[in-house]
Amino acid sequence: MYGGFMIITLIMGAIGGLVGKVLQSRMTKYAQTPIQSGVSGKEVAQQMLQHYGIHDVQVVEGQGFLTDHYNPKTKVVSLSPPIYQGQTVAAVAVAAHEVGHAVQHAEAYGFLQMRSAIVPLVQFSSKFQQFALMGAFMTVGAGSTFGDMAMLACIGLFAITALFSLITLPVEFDASKRGLAYIDNAGIVQGEEYTGAKDGLKWAAMTYVAAALSAIVMVLYLVMRFAGNNRRR
């Protein structure tokens, strides 16, 4: 079981790493592509919030690279320095995407509410997954009730992660759709600028697709191992 688990982990990790490298490459390119409108990421975020009548969300400058996010608890859109200050394709695309999450929050977007609701379960799952895996590795094939319980616990914990990853997909795709629509309709980007913004956000979304695929494959592997063990008894 351990060997199969490690193989899957390595394969999915390689896929995720490849997607991450492509994303970083694309974002680096678009971070160096200025837009004719000369609007910064900060200005896009503020204008988009005003457009949607959202007045209780703050836009702040964060730290790092690709660390941009919206925190629904504090109602803060945090933009990394290149995005906050930049007047580039990447800056306006990412800023609009993050405000897209703020708009989802303001409109009580169903999938965002679902994702927020299961965050405590995901945090619990992440803490105990490794312990459940160790128990499953140690008891696999033993035919004991404890072994079955360990495997079922492992499946359940990883299933929570998979569910969270699946719910995250429509949240991210919808935020990008909202952001792209705004910067297009507002004339912030035009022509190839819009194409670049769409491409950058597409690859950002692919990182979530890779994570969801990895989580689903892991759950399926664990289920197949559990079923296989029971058939051999």
Q: Please give the pLDDT value at position 180.
A: 98
pLDDT at 137 over 80: no
Sheet with 58-61, edge to edge strand ranges: 58-61, 76-79, 69-71
Chain position carrying tokens 């890779």: 210
Chain position carrying tokens 């991210």: 172
Q: Please give the pLDDT value at position 32.
A: 95
Q: Please give the pLDDT value at position 85.
A: 97
Side-chain half-sphere of 96: how many Cα atoms within 13 Å?
A: 33
Q: Which residue has the higher pLDDT, 230 or 111?
A: 111
Contacts of 52 (CB under 8 A, 6+ apart): 103, 106
Q: Which residue has the higher pLDDT, 134 or 208?
A: 208
pLDDT at 104 over 80: yes
Q: pLDDT over 70 for what percent of the chain?
A: 91
* b/e 33-61 (16+ beta carbons within 10 angstroms → b): bebebebbbbbbbbbbbeebebeebebee
Query: How many distinct helices (H) and strands (E) make up the chain?
Result: 8, 3
Can you tell me the distance from the alpha carbon of 213 to that of 169, in angstroms, rounded to the nearest whole number? 11
Q: Please give the pLDDT value at position 207.
A: 94
List 98, 107, 172, 192, catalytic entry: 98
21-30, 42-51, 214-223, range with the lowest pLDDT: 214-223
Q: Map residue 60 onto helix, strand or coil.
A: strand
Q: pLDDT over 90 for what percent of the chain?
A: 70
Can you tell me the distance from the alpha carbon of 108 to that of 208, in angstroms, rounded to the nearest whole number? 22
Q: Please give the pLDDT value at position 129.
A: 82
The token pair that represents 105 in the structure block: 């929050």
pLDDT at 143 over 60: no
Query: Does 98 qualify as catalytic in the annotation?
Result: yes
Pair 71, 119: CB distance under 8 Å:
no
pLDDT in tens, 144-157: 666 677 788 889 99
Longest dimension (CA), the chain: 69
Contacts of 208 (CB under 8 A, 6+ apart): 165, 168, 169, 172
pLDDT at 84 over 90: yes
Q: How confident is the model at residue 1 (pLDDT cuts 50, 70, 90)?
A: low
The token pair that represents 38 in the structure block: 């000369």
Q: Is the dihedral angle over the CA atoms 182, 105, 216, 25 positive or is it negative?
A: positive
76: region left, alpha or beta (phi > 0 left; psi from -120 to 50 alpha): beta
What is the average pLDDT across 128-152? Answer: 72
**SS3 sequence, 28-52?**
HHHCCCECCCCCCHHHHHHHHHHHC
Q: Please give the pLDDT value at position 227.
A: 77
Neighbour-count burial of 172, counting CB atoms closer than 10 A to its CB (0-12 exposed, 13-18 middle, 19+ buried): buried
